[in-house]
Structure 1
Amino acid sequence: MKKIMSIFFGLLIIFSFTTACGNSPEESNSEKGNTAVQEFDGNINGTLSAATSGGFMYSVGAVIGNVINKQDDSNLDVIEGGGIANLMGVNDQKFEYGLTFSQDIEDALQGRNDFDEPLEDFRVVAALYGGYLQFAVRSDSDIHSIDDLKGNSLSPGVKGYSAEALAELVLNEHGLDYEDLSKVEFTSTADATNLMQDRHIDAISAMFPIPFSAYQELDTTLGIRILPIESDKIKALQEVNAGYMEMTIPAGTYSGNDEDISVAGSITLIITHKDTPDDEVYFMLESLFDNLNDFKNLSVVFEDLDEDYAYENITGPIHPGAQKYFEDKGIAK
Structure 2
Amino acid sequence: MRMIRVIAALLLALGLLGGRAGAAQAQQSVDALRNKANQGTVSIISGGVNGTYIRIASDLAAVLDKDGELRILPIVGKGSVRNLLDLLYLRGIDVAILQSDVLSYSLKEHLAPNLAQRIRYITKLYNEEVHILAGRDVAQVADLAGRKVNVDGAGSGTAMTASILFDALGVKIVPTNFDQALALEKLKAGEIAAMVYVVGKPAELFSKIAADSGLHLLSLPLTPNLLQTYLPSSLSHSDYPALIAEGQAADTVAVGAVMAVYNWDPKSERYKTMAAFVDAFFDDFDRFLQPPRHPKWQDVNLAAELPGWTRFQPAQDWLDRRPTTAGTGYDIPLKNSFDEFIAFMQQSGGNPREGATQSREALFARFLEWRKRQQEASPTEAITILTGDPSGVYYPLGTALGTLYGKLRPAAQVTVQATQGSVQNLNLLQAGRGDIAFALADSVDLAWKGDAELGFPSRLDKLRTVAAIYPNYIQVVATKASGIQSLADLKGKRVSVGAPRSGTEINARRVFAAAGLSYDMMSVQYLPFGESVALMKQGDLDATLQSAGLGVASIRELASAVPITLVPIPPKVVARIGGPAYVARTIPAGTYAGQTQDVPTASINNLLMTREGVPAEVIYTITKAMFDNLPALTTAHAAAQGIALNHAVQGSPVPLHPGAQRYFREKGLLR
> Which interval holds the TM-score relative to the shorter structure?
0.7 to 0.9
Which residues in structure 2 correspond to 1:94-133 (within 5 Å)?
Answer: 94-112=433-451, 113-133=454-474
Q: Could you say what secondary structure the match of 2:565 adopts?
A: strand
Cα distance in 1 for partners of 2:515, 2:389 equals 31
Q: 1:230 to 1:54 in 2, by over 3 A?
A: closer
Q: 1:238 to 1:274 in 2, by over 3 A?
A: farther
The two structures, once aligned, show a CA RMSD in angstroms of 2.6
TM-score (normalised: structure 1): 0.76
Q: 1:266 to 1:304 in 2, by over 3 A?
A: closer
Q: Which has the larger radius of gyration?
A: 2
TM-score (normalised: structure 2): 0.40
Cα distance in 2 for partners of 1:131, 1:98 equals 15
- Contact persistence 2:473–2:549 (CA under 8 A): yes
Cα distance in 2 for partners of 1:204, 1:179 equals 16
Q: Residue in 2 aligned with 1:278? A: 616
Task: State whether structure 2 residue 473 is matched by structure 1 residue 136.
Answer: no
Task: State whether structure 2 residue 507 is matched by structure 1 residue 166.
Answer: yes
Task: State whether structure 2 residue 603 is matched by structure 1 residue 259.
Answer: no
Q: Could you say what secondary structure the match of 1:259 adopts?
A: coil
Give the unaligned 5+ runs of structure 2: 1-379
Cα distance in 2 for partners of 1:218, 1:50 equals 22
Cα distance in 2 for partners of 1:85, 1:156 equals 16
Q: Could you say what secondary structure the match of 1:285 adopts?
A: helix
Cα distance in 1 for partners of 2:558, 2:431 equals 41
- Contact persistence 1:225–1:254 (CA under 8 A): no
Q: 1:179 to 1:106 in 2, by over 3 A?
A: same
Task: State whether structure 2 residue 547 is matched by structure 1 residue 210.
Answer: no
1:227 to 567, 591, 594: 567
Give the unaligned 5+ runs of structure 1: 1-42
Task: State whether structure 2 residue 389 is matched by structure 1 residue 58.
Answer: no
2:507 partner amino acid: L
2:606 partner amino acid: T
Q: 1:310 to 1:44 in 2, by over 3 A?
A: farther
Cα distance in 1 for partners of 2:499, 2:430 equals 25
Q: Could you give the per-residue CA deviations for residues 239-258 of structure 1, whole angstroms, max 9, x where no partner exists?
A: 3xx54443321122235543
Cα distance in 2 for partners of 1:235, 1:58 equals 30
Q: 1:118 to 1:293 in 2, by over 3 A?
A: same
Q: Residue in 1 aligned with 2:492? A: 151
Q: Residue in 2 aligned with 1:67? A: 404
Q: Could you give the per-residue CA deviations for residues 88-123 of structure 1, whole angstroms, max 9, x where no partner exists?
A: 232343332222221110101111131122222211
Cα distance in 2 for partners of 1:215, 1:261 equals 15
1:196 partner amino acid: M
| Structure 1 residue 213: Cα displacement | 2.1
Deviates more, 1:111-120 or 1:194-203: 194-203
Cα distance in 1 for partners of 2:415, 2:541 equals 39
Task: State whether structure 2 residue 425 is matched by structure 1 residue 86.
Answer: yes
- Contact persistence 1:282–1:325 (CA under 8 A): yes
Q: 1:217 to 1:326 in 2, by over 3 A?
A: same
| Structure 1 residue 300: Cα displacement | 1.4
Q: Residue in 2 aligned with 1:35? A: none
| Structure 1 residue 223: Cα displacement | 2.1
Cα distance in 1 for partners of 2:558, 2:650 equals 34
Q: Could you say what secondary structure the match of 1:70 adopts?
A: helix
Cα distance in 1 for partners of 2:461, 2:591 equals 39
Cα distance in 1 for partners of 2:431, 2:661 equals 22
2:442 partner amino acid: Q
Aligned length: 288
- Contact persistence 1:44–1:68 (CA under 8 A): no
> 1 or 2 for the larger relative contact order (CA 8 Å, sep ≥6)?
1
Cα distance in 2 for partners of 1:100, 1:332 equals 23
Cα distance in 1 for partners of 2:563, 2:664 equals 43
Q: Could you give the per-residue CA deviations for residues 54-93 of structure 1, whole angstroms, max 9, x where no partner exists?
A: 5432222221211111124333322333322322232343
Q: Residue in 2 aligned with 1:180? A: 521
Cα distance in 2 for partners of 1:282, 1:65 equals 14
2:542 partner amino acid: D
Q: Could you give the per-residue CA deviations for residues 228-281 of structure 1, whole angstroms, max 9, x where no partner exists?
A: 112232233233xx5444332112223554333222233332212234343432
Which residues in structure 2 correspond to 1:243-322 (within 5 Å)?
Answer: 243-255=581-593, 257-322=595-660
Cα distance in 1 for partners of 2:640, 2:456 equals 30
- Contact persistence 1:102–1:244 (CA under 8 A): no
